[in-house]
Chains A and B, each alone.
Chain A
Amino acid sequence: MARAVTGQRKMINTLAAWSVGLLIFFPILWTILTSFKSEAQAIANPPVFFLFDWTLENYSAVQERSNYSKFLWNSIIIAGGSTLLGVLIAVPAAWSMAFVPGKRTKDILLWMLSTKMLPAVGVLYPIYLGFVKAGLLDTRVGLVIVMMLINLPIIVWMLYTYFREIPSEILEAARMDGATLRDEIIHVLTPMAIPGIASTLLLNFILAWNEAFWTLNLTAAKAAPLTAFIASYSSPEGLFFAKLSAASTMAIAPILILGWFSQKQLVRGLTFGAVK
């Protein structure tokens, strides 16, 4: 029996949920709105909401002054490169753990998760020093490697929970039909694993995009991604609210949209399959 819901109750729910939703979303909405204002309107008291002279000048100013596209490109390379590399390395690991689990599989999985808990700051200097010696400081290659290693445990875990859901009977059937290990991987496993791999790519791209410890500490002018680009606004010039808002909007817009598409996978991925 479905629960009978009165129209009135539904109305109240709707009203309450939308109010809370808008309240939580408000800082983002306010940033987007402010990015279209003039600097004077951005700090006006009482604040103006929609009735102001909409302008795009902040966006061009930000691009001119700080070369936004360079940082965007760095973000794309670092987040994209590290995610792709991570998945390439993690697929064999997750595959063998899901299909040929040994006695130690569980221990290895838990150990991998535990490396994620190692505080980054505890190993900051050795990594920093290694980067200096290897000439990797402020390079995109260096950041790709570090980001990949940081997210590798999550990638392995995500892939593992997805792979585990592929029924192993299918693999056995393929083996009976004389499929080699290579055939098995290419023709049977890969097509079934693609949705899981896609969600893993998406979620880890988002995580790498937003990472702000190593990107702030290991980059300077050349390889800095958007996290560092925004942090450069923390000096007093950040008081130009409209320009700050334009820069912020440009930094979060791509990932916000990707994020909306990934919210279902987010739960599975970030809870290591514990909540579905």
Chain B
Amino acid sequence: MAPAVFLLLVWMLVPLITTLFFSFKKYLPLRGDELGKGLDWVGFENYSRFLNSSSFWPSVQTTLLIVGSVLVITVVLGVLLALLLDQPMWGQGIVRILIISPFFVMPTVSALVWKNMFMDSNYGLFAHLWRFFGAEPVQWLSQSSIESIIMIVSWQWLPFATLILLTAIQSLDSEQLEASEMDGAPVLKRFWYIILPHLGRAITVVILIQTIFLLAVFAEIFVTTGGAFGSRTLTYLIFQRVLESQNVGLGSAGGVYAIILANIVALFLMRIVGKNLDQ
């Protein structure tokens, strides 16, 4: 196992240490700071500046809002969809293909398609629909940017949640369900006491995996709002500090915060996967 472990170790440690190093330095490449000439040590100045900048807390809130909303939407709708798909019907295979498809659409494409063909306030389908009902078209990406991004990202991840929850439902012992059905347990009770507990593990897995990917949502914002209109997540804020304004020291301090935030989530979630590994 050595090569894989070694590569991952290098891939993780070298950039991590470099980021830590930069976070304690003043490093503005556009103003003539160069690695070769040596960088000024500034202590924790970058950290306090990043934390105290007016964009920090809003970006954390936006991140949590987007991740939380997408998780709730995809898990709730995913459970309902999985229940529906588990019923006997004609053409189940095709319906599955229809529902799973958005997952395979690359993020830049789904962001662009939604932004232009649906959310454009002049020619988008939503604008046509709103006008049809006599309403004023919504300026989706400027007036409700966070909601729009939540909608796009949920559309991308709902298929994933549905597919995993459906797989879990299908492994449910149907005799147990039938027995409860014959005992006259109402539908809601059956769902609450038999199906939902059975889905617990699958739901946990969905939340874990989606959180990893959702914390890193980037292209959907890059392509739609470019971080404007209050849609700037922590990831995007750091990207702007590092690459757009080329303040490497400040951005690196932000990166360290992002790593800490992700690790808090990860620590909590890794326990669950670790438990699953023993089963």
Interface positions of A (Cβ within 8 A of B) = 1, 3, 5, 9-10, 13-14, 16-18, 20-22, 24-25, 27-28, 30-31, 34, 43, 45-47, 89-90, 92-94, 96-97, 106, 108-110, 112-130, 149, 152-153, 156, 206, 209-210, 212-213, 216-217, 226-228, 230-231, 233-234, 238-239, 241, 244-245, 248, 251-252, 255-256, 258-260, 263, 266-267, 270-272, 274-276
Contact = CB atoms under 8 A, between A and B. Distances in A.
Chain B contact residues: helix, strand, loop or mixed: helix
Contacts of B101: 24-25, 28, 256, 259-260
Given A27-B118, A46-B128, A93 B1 contact: yes
Given A212-B107, A248-B113, A271-B209, A153 B8 contact: yes
A231 B201 CA distance: 37
Contacts of B92: 17
B117 A22 contact: no
A270 B160 contact: yes
B243 A217 contact: yes
B262 A212 contact: no
A252 B102 CA distance: 10
A203 B81 CA distance: 23
Interface stretch (B48-56, B65-73, B184-192, B234-242): B234-242
A120 B89 CA distance: 43
20 contacts: A10-B89, A20-B84, A24-B101, A28-B105, A30-B117, A94-B1, A110-B273, A125-B251, A149-B11, A156-B4, A206-B104, A226-B106, A230-B108, A230-B109, A234-B224, A239-B123, A241-B123, A244-B116, A255-B106, A259-B101
Contacts of A89: 3-4, 7
Nearest to A271: B205
Contact of A256 (B5, B22, B105, B114): B105
6 A-B pairs with least C-beta separation: A122-B255, A123-B15, A259-B104, A126-B18, A93-B4, A21-B98
A59 to B, nearest CB: 16
Interface of B: 1-5, 7-8, 11-12, 14-16, 18-19, 22, 35, 81, 84-85, 87-92, 94-118, 120, 123, 125, 128, 131-132, 155, 158-160, 163-164, 167-168, 171, 174, 178, 181, 201-202, 205, 209, 212, 215-216, 218-219, 222-224, 235, 238-239, 242-243, 248, 251-252, 255-256, 258-259, 261-263, 265-266, 270, 273-274, 276-277
Contacts of B108: 212, 216, 227-228, 230-231, 234
B118 to A, nearest CB: 7
Given A20-B84, A25-B101, A252-B105, A117 B266 contact: yes
B95 A17 contact: yes
Contact of A248 (B7, B112, B259, B262): B112
A212 B106 contact: yes
Contacts of B113: 27, 30-31, 244-245, 248
A152 B88 contact: no
A45 B118 CA distance: 13
B117 A245 contact: yes
A94 B3 CA distance: 11
A126 B205 contact: no
A119 B4 contact: no
B112 A238 contact: yes
B258 A270 contact: no
Nearest to B21: A126
A96 B2 CA distance: 10
Contact of A45 (B4, B128, B181): B128
Nearest to B106: A210
Nearest to A122: B255
B118 A115 contact: no
Contacts of B158: 24
Given A25-B99, A118-B12, 4 more contacts: A3-B174, A127-B15, A248-B109, A258-B104
